[in-house]
Chains A and B, each alone.
Chain A
Amino acid sequence: EVQLVESGGGLVQPGRSLRLSCAASGFTFDDYAMHWVRQAPGKGLEWVSGISWNSGSAGYADSVKGRFTISRDNAKKSLYLQMNSLRAEDTALYFCAKDIGYEARNYFDSWGQGILVTVSS
């Protein structure tokens, strides 16, 4: 059974940094691209970033480009999101999501339970 477990969220002040982690199990992690998708309270889904199976390519939403960095460690079966210069509008539930392909096909067939990030002074 595929399991994705996010961690590292919490309350952070505007302008500060936070690093999210996603621990994967139940599938061959380095066979798939991975993504972060967020959902602000009471709002819809927003794709944040995606990374290919071997970290050879990565993409970002304009709203986070230059501030967030996605990475992965295939040996540790883990996905990361380094979030710098956080803003109030980054407040959301952040989901780790598995792609159906090794290069980003941009279809997310497994999701974590989400981790809440709150940016507030």
Chain B
Amino acid sequence: QSVLTQPPSVSAAPGQKVTISCSGSSSNIGNNYVSWYQQLPGTAPKLLIYDNNKRPSGIPDRFSGSKSGTSATLGITGLQTGDEADYYCGTWDSSLSAVIFGGGTKLTVL
């Protein structure tokens, strides 16, 4: 069981918007920055968001991140079938002195 809690799955239609939540505690999200990764089937993860809301170069602005208290949210607008993937949140846990990830959320674009 992961320290960070994500919904196992979310779904939405093409062109729509979806949000994925990531819930933690004061030892992790509450006092540290959050990142988000996309893992397409059979491939390595890809960094989408870091420092809560920054996008690496090449990541479209359809992807956004936010944080409030001990929770973080990934938003994806203008959904495309190519966005179907597993999405993971990650952060540092000050109590564990380790990087931790959420359990992952499978996005289905109907």
Number of interface residues of B (CB under 8 A): 25
Chain B interface: which of A20-28, A39-47, A82-90?
Answer: A39-47
Q: Which residues does chain B contribute within 8 Å of A106, judged by CB atoms?
A: 35, 90-92, 99
Chain A: interface secondary structure? strand
A109 lies within 8 A of B56 (CB):
yes
Q: State the CA gap A62–B98 with chains docked (Å).
A: 8
A59 lies within 8 A of B45 (CB):
no
Given A109-B47, A111-B44, also A62-B99 (CB < 8 A): no
> What 0/1 readout, one digit per residue, does chain A (88-121) give for beta carbons within 8 Å of chain B?
0000000100001000011111011110000000
Contact-residue size bin, chain A (C-beta under 8 Å from the other chain) = 20 to 34
- Give the A-B pair count, Cβ closer than 8 A: 56
A45 lies within 8 A of B104 (CB):
yes
Residue of A nearest to B45 (CB): A111
A45 CB contact (under 8 Å) in B50, B51, B56, B90: B90
User: Which residues on B are within 8 Å of A, measured CB to CB?
Assistant: 2, 35, 37, 39, 44-47, 50-51, 56, 86, 88, 90-92, 96-104
User: Which residues on A are within 8 Å of B, measured CB to CB?
Assistant: 35, 37, 44-47, 50, 59-62, 95, 100, 105-109, 111-114
